[in-house]
Structures are given as C-alpha cells and as structure tokens.
C-alpha cells in the first residue's frame, strides 16, 4: 500500500512541474528522479506512466520523458515556412540569429551554389519562446550583399533575395544531435533529430539558396499531400535517396 501511495505522491509533484515546463520540454531522467525522490526507477516509471495515461507526458527512445505536445507539422507541398503554419495554430514564431557572416564557401556549399563567397546565417527558431529548429542558410554573396542581420531575423530568405524562384528540392534524413545543437534545442546530446536540406532555385534553375534545418524528432512531423495518380509504389513528388 505504501508503494502505491508513494508513486501517486510523485505523480502529484510532477504534475506541477509539467505545467511549469511547457509543451515539448524534457523532464529529468528516470535516474535523476529516482535519486531525487529516494525511490527505485520502477516507482518513478509508475508515476510517469500514470501521467502518460492522463495525457500529460510521453516518452520516446533517445529522449526520455517529455511534456506532451501537438507535433509541429510542416507541409511539403509548397514553398513556404513552418512559421506560417505555427501562426495558423495560434503559436507565436520568432527567430534568434546566432551567426551572420560573409565568408568563403565550404566545399559542399560551393559544389551546390557554384560560388566561392557566400553569406552564411545560422539561427534558432522558436515557437512561443521554445526552440524547435536550428537553421543554417547559405546564399551567394552577391545576392546577399543588401541583407542585414535584422532583415533575416524577421523575414524568410526567399522573400529577401530579389529574384524570382522556381521551387525547391527538399531532402529529409535522420541524424544525432551534436552537443551544440542539443544545447540549443534542449535535448540530450546524441538524441534523434530530423535533418532537412533544401536547395532553392531561380526560374533559370540556378541554385540560389541552400538551407539545413535540424528539428527535434520527438515533436516534428512533415506532411506530404498525395494526389490521385496512376498506380505506383513511389508517391508523386517523392523519391528514395540511397
């Protein structure tokens, strides 16, 4: 009987923390909670399972336990930003510029953009003050000469370049969070992240933007609308990348 009462007491304590932490944020690990409350991990897990049954928390391999939240979804059917979708849900998106520099292009960036000098901008994207993406954007230096740190903090790059765009190719893969990315996203180092690379081209087909977006995998979803088409094992607009 005492064990049952204890896990219920722990669950009551954690309910208050869940409210204070906010959607999507991580709870302390089971080991840390076990040491804090002076009980076994089995007792801590029973308390957390109780909160999960109430829809307050959830868990995922590589992250541990976190406050339940509606996934941040981005549709891939058009050239747009995830911030527009956040605003439609009543969330307030914001950006914090971490780095803004004109510099020689790294080998990979030079191969894609076909230029030796680039503007590189690294930023943190937030929703209602909580981080949801670390983004790095490169553009040819001549296209970014008129841009300022303040401008790219408040508007999407593709609206600022002054060129007509044809579209973009987006590649999504899995990765593990490096230490600096983990700190920015408030997730454990090495935890799963979704890595999204986007190459945006102008109307002539020339690549004018390269961007890399790192999203915490436990709260991010990409949505693809599949039109009715002839039978195929590969949905229209998608292809497998070896």
- Residues 145-201 pLDDT 10s: 999 999 999 888 888 888 998 888 888 898 989 999 999 998 888 888 989 999 999
Q: Is residue 186 part of a domain?
A: yes
Same domain, 128 and 34: no
Q: Hey, CA dihedral for 180, 96, 99, 192, is it positive or negative?
A: positive
- Check pLDDT > 90 for residue 117: yes
Same domain, 113 and 143: yes
Tens of pLDDT, residues 80-95: 667 777 777 777 889 9
Same domain, 32 and 119: no
Structurally, how many domains does the chain consist of? 2
What's the mean pLDDT in 211-224?
A: 84
Which residue range forms the structural domain that includes residue 10? 2-67
C-alpha 50: how far from its chain's center?
A: 28
Residue 128: CATH number of its domain: 3.40.1410.10
- Residues composing the chain: 242
pLDDT for 237: 55
- In whole angstroms, give the CA distance from residue 241 to residue 52: 36
Same domain, 10 and 118: no
Q: Is residue 233 part of a domain?
A: no
* Per-chain mean pLDDT for the chain: 84
Strands (E), 54-206: 57-60, 64-67, 72-75, 93-104, 117-127, 130-140, 165-176, 192-202
Distances (CA, A) of 126 to 85, 188, 218: 13, 18, 16
Q: Is residue 201 part of a domain?
A: yes
Strand partners, 104: 117
Q: Is residue 239 part of a domain?
A: no
pTM of the model: 0.74
Range with the largest mean pLDDT of 41-55, 69-83, 93-107: 93-107
Q: Is residue 44 part of a domain?
A: yes
Q: What percent of the chain has pLDDT over 70?
A: 86
Tens of pLDDT, residues 8-31: 889 989 988 887 887 777 888 888
Same domain, 49 and 117: no
Q: Is residue 94 part of a domain?
A: yes
What's the mean pLDDT in 67-73?
A: 73
Residue 27: CATH number of its domain: 1.10.10.10
Same domain, 168 and 124: yes
């Amino acid at each position: 009987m005492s064990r049952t009462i204890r896990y219920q007491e722990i669950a009551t304590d954690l309910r208050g923390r869940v409210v204070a932490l906010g959607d999507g944020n991580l709870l302390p690990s089971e080991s840390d909670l076990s040491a804090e409350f002076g009980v076994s991990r089995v007792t801590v897990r029973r308390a957390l399972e109780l909160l999960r049954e109430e829809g307050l928390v959830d868990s995922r391999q590589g992250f541990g336990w976190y406050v339940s939240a509606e996934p941040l979804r981005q549709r891939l059917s058009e050239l747009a930003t995830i911030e527009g979708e956040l605003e439609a849900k009543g969330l307030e998106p914001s950006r914090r510029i971490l780095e803004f520099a004109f510099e020689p292009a790294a080998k990979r960036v030079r191969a894609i953009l076909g230029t030796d000098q680039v503007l590189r901008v690294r930023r943190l994207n937030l929703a209602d003050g909580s981080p949801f993406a670390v983004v790095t954007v490169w553009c040819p230096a001549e296209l970014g000469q008129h841009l300022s740190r303040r401008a790219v903090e408040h508007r999407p790059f593709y609206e600022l370049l002054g060129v007509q765009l044809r579209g973009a190719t987006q590649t999504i893969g899995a990765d593990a969070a490096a230490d600096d990315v983990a700190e920015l996203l408030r997730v454990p180092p090495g935890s799963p992240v979704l890595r999204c690379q986007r190459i945006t081209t102008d109307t002539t087909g020339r690549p004018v933007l390269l961007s890399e977006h790192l999203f915490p995998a436990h709260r991010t979803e990409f949505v693809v609308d599949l039109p009715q088409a002839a039978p195929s094992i590969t949905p229209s607009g998608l292809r497998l990348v070896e």
